[in-house]
Amino acid sequence: MATTVTSLLELTLSAEAAADPAAAHAVVSQVLEATRAFEGCLGCEVLVDVDDPAHLVVHERWASLAHDDAYRAWRRTPEGASRLGEVLAGPPRLSRFTTAEGV
């Protein structure tokens, strides 16, 4: 049985995007429609830093590492490209986790 994976994608909005958070969040929401529809996605939500609203974390749950890998590969294709870069100050930071056994 495949182990589920939790992926955390840290985003920092550009100063321009942070000045209009509703518009920036609309871009993120549009990107996540495709994420949620991708095979193996068990769900995702966006967390906003209470001390820095320009700092977002996308919390994704995947059925397996293979599903997450397939999604990341798809995002690097023309078909999977998104507008996310338009609202970011720099590249996102991705961390992926599995559940520790026996802890």
Range of 51's domain?
5-89
Residue 1 clears pLDDT 80, i.e. is over it:
no
Q: What is the DSSP letter of 84?
A: G
pTM of the model: 0.92
Q: For 14, phi and psi rounded to 5 degrees?
A: -65, 165
Mean pLDDT of 37-48: 98
d(CA 69, CA 94): 12
Mean pLDDT of 62-71: 98
How many domains would you assign to the chain? 1
The CATH number of the domain where 17 resides is what? 3.30.70.100
pLDDT tens-digit map of 7-34: 999 999 999 999 999 999 999 999 999 9
User: Angle at the Cα of 28 (from 59 to 8), degrees rounded to 5?
Assistant: 20
Per-residue confidence (pLDDT) for residue 69, from 0 to 100:
98
In a domain, 61, yes or no: yes
Does 72 or 103 have the greater pLDDT score?
72
In a domain, 50, yes or no: yes
Q: How confident is the model at residue 103 (pLDDT cuts 50, 70, 90)?
A: confident
